[in-house]
Amino acid sequence: MTDAPATRPRKPLIGFTAATRGDHGVAWLLRLAIFLGGGRSTRINAPFEDWHGERPDGLLLSGGLDIHPTRYDGDESFESEFDHDRDHLEFSWMDWADHARIPAFGICRGLQMLNVHAGGDLHQSLDPDLIATWPTTAIEYLIFRKPIRIKPGSHLEAATGSTELDVNSLHRQAVRNPAPGFTVVAHERASDGIQAIEANEPALRMGVQYHPELLLHDRAARSLFRYFIDQCRPPG
């Protein structure tokens, strides 16, 4: 009599959001990052109350248009591009993630969404003198890097294995006041601007202002996705 083959542990299912207009390439990169990190992926394209698919083990909120200022008591006269439907979609899923104690990881706008959903607010427009030093073309964005400092002992340090990284930059807004329960764990060297936040309640919350899905050639970026996905593994 032979022993039955051992069953492989189920890979965590990561539900990710992406821009509703365009950005198909980014969605593909997110799927690749999740795969390389040891997870399965499903794109979330409906609010939680309208979702009929498998419920994910973790949420990944990606970049995109600005969050509408009514979500954080910002200046409503501020001119920008907004996506009200996506704001509602991500708020509904974060409500569920809090209730179900599901880990969540935010990238760029996603970091800002984690913060706003938990009661923090944003700088609606960064210092023009700072932005003037940043890229203006697609090619420049591919090669531009800025140094950030990471807090020792943070999840981000554990994930990347470093207290200093050179990262990309594609944002025009940023966290102003972190939400209650969140800790700032990375700053930009040049401006001291917030580059990452974390919380441990009601479950792991990690957010980075840069775009690790565009840096998958770098070990630290791949390790960041793997670290988050490891936190999403079902027990047993």
Q: Where in the sequence numbering do the catalytic residues fall?
A: 108, 211, 213
CA distance 229 to 12: 7
Q: Give the residue carrying structure tokens 């104690």.
A: 101
Please return the burial class of 131, using the count of CB atoms within 10 Å of its CB with bins 0-12, 13-18 and 19+. Answer: middle
* Neighbour tally for 59: CB within 10 Å: 26
Cα distances (Å, whole numbers) of residue 120 to 131, 197, 200:
23, 11, 16
Residue 41 · residue 26 · CB < 8 Å: no
Cα distances (Å, whole numbers) of residue 194 to 8, 150, 151:
40, 10, 12
Cβ within 8 Å of residue 224, ≥6 positions away: 156, 159, 160, 208, 212
